[in-house]
Amino acid sequence: MGAEAICSPAGCFSAALLTQALMWIGLAALTVFALATLAFIPDARAVLRDERERASDERDAFARFVRRVADVDVTAGQGYAAGGNGANQGVPGSGPGPGTLALAGGGGRPPDDHVAEARRAYRETVMSVPHYEEEYGESLAENVSAEFGESVAIALEGAEAFTPGLRRTLVDGAETARDRRNSLVRAIEKEEATLREAAKSLSDVESDVESIEGGSTLSLSFEQLMDRWGHLYDLEQECEAVLEERQETIRSGYGVPLRLDGPISLQEYLYDSLPVTHPVLAETTRLLDLVRGVQDSTSVALSRRV
């Protein structure tokens, strides 16, 4: 090895190669630091990753339940119909039509195996997602009531016969719940794209304003201070554009009807665990205050040059 080589227990490297490697490591570290300095968006993106995974798991679980309950045989024989109208309501022998629920099978008999199979399918699909206990921790009846409605929960809990109407109701309810989760997954994916774009724009703004803020104004000429103020003005306009775009997105957004409790705003649902429910607005406002603070100090320096 020549004089330019540097040796260690790991081997020998040329000084030029080692210098280049250290330079790239330093640049990578600076990039990571710049991205990590955002106050709210990194945590929001982590929340989105978790929520997308949970919503996907629930969507797939309801899809599996649909397939399983559709394969459960209906009970042979006749039962009481619940929710019907007319003289046959609650009379043995009146076959429930589509959308009606059978609560009893006559004579107070114990539930048949088909009802038990439907309940087992629900426990082994919807109630078996990894986060179920942490997120819900509900009994089967409580969860079915929240997802499909109280009448369906009562029917599934008290049914003695698995009628065509009960099976159709469970399939319809599960398909609706699956579609709600699928809509949530798509909304989260759009939100992830929005946060990626905002993070890039705001990281650039933060990097620029911090580099300006760190420089002394004492040695700057009037023209240099004007250039500095102009650059800060551009950063201010960029922040205001992000704010306006985000506010428009929120105004034109839609609620997320996760269950039957009614829709809530997407941001309220996603970011409830964070210090702020609108991380892009909070991040942008924070940076806008920083930009304007440096603008003020630059204006003071300009006034002293006049």
Q: Of the candidates 67, 71, 95, which has an alpha carbon nearest to the alpha carbon of residue 81?
A: 95
In a shared domain, residues 115 and 201: no
Confidence at residue 284, expressed as pLDDT on a 0 to 100 scale: 97
**Residues sharing a CB contact under 8 Å with residue 117, sequence separation 6 or more, in sequence order:** 72, 162
In a shared domain, residues 236 and 267: yes
- pLDDT tens-digit profile of 122-179? 999 999 999 999 999 999 999 999 999 999 999 998 888 999 999 999 999 999 999 9
Q: Of the candidates 236, 240, 241, 242, which has an alpha carbon nearest to the alpha carbon of residue 295?
A: 236
- 150, 177, 204: which is the final residue of a domain? 177
Q: What's the domain count of the chain?
A: 2
81/213: higher pLDDT: 213
- The model's confidence at residue 15, banded by pLDDT at 50, 70 and 90, is very low
Which residue matches tokens 């775009």? 245
Within-domain flag for 251: yes
Within-domain flag for 13: no
In a shared domain, residues 149 and 226: no
In a shared domain, residues 208 and 141: no
In a shared domain, residues 71 and 173: yes
Which amino acid, residue 138? Answer: E
Look at residue 272 and tell me whether its pLDDT is greater than 60: yes
In a shared domain, residues 260 and 294: yes
Within-domain flag for 32: no
Q: Tell me the average pLDDT of the chain.
A: 80
In a shared domain, residues 184 and 299: yes
Four-point Cα dihedral 80, 81, 82, 88, nearest 10: -100
Domain that residue 105 falls in? 58-177
- pLDDT tens-digit profile of 21-42? 334 333 333 333 333 479 999 9
In whole angstroms, what is the distance from residue 160 CA to residue 154 CA? 12
Confidence at residue 254, expressed as pLDDT on a 0 to 100 scale: 64
Within-domain flag for 4: no
- 156, 177, 198: which is the final residue of a domain? 177
Within-domain flag for 3: no
**Token pair for residue 155?**
């029917």
Within-domain flag for 154: yes
186 neighbors 51 (Cβ within 8 angstroms): no
In whole angstroms, what is the distance from residue 7 CA to residue 271 CA? 51
In a shared domain, residues 195 and 209: yes
Confidence at residue 255, expressed as pLDDT on a 0 to 100 scale: 67
Q: Of the candidates 44, 46, 38, 45, which has an alpha carbon nearest to the alpha carbon of residue 283?
A: 38
Q: Of the candidates 191, 231, 199, which has an alpha carbon nearest to the alpha carbon of residue 213?
A: 231
Burial class (CB in 10 A: 0-12, 13-18, 19+), 187: buried
In a shared domain, residues 133 and 173: yes
Counting residues of the chain whose pLDDT is more than 90, the rounded percentage is 58
Look at residue 16 and tell me whether its pLDDT is greater than 70: no
In a shared domain, residues 214 and 281: yes
Within-domain flag for 19: no
Which residue matches tokens 């929960």? 153
In a shared domain, residues 151 and 225: no
Within-domain flag for 215: yes
In a shared domain, residues 184 and 45: yes
Confidence at residue 21, expressed as pLDDT on a 0 to 100 scale: 35
**Token pair for residue 138?**
């509900």
Which amino acid, residue 82? Answer: A
- 159, 177, 195: which is the final residue of a domain? 177
Confidence at residue 261, expressed as pLDDT on a 0 to 100 scale: 67
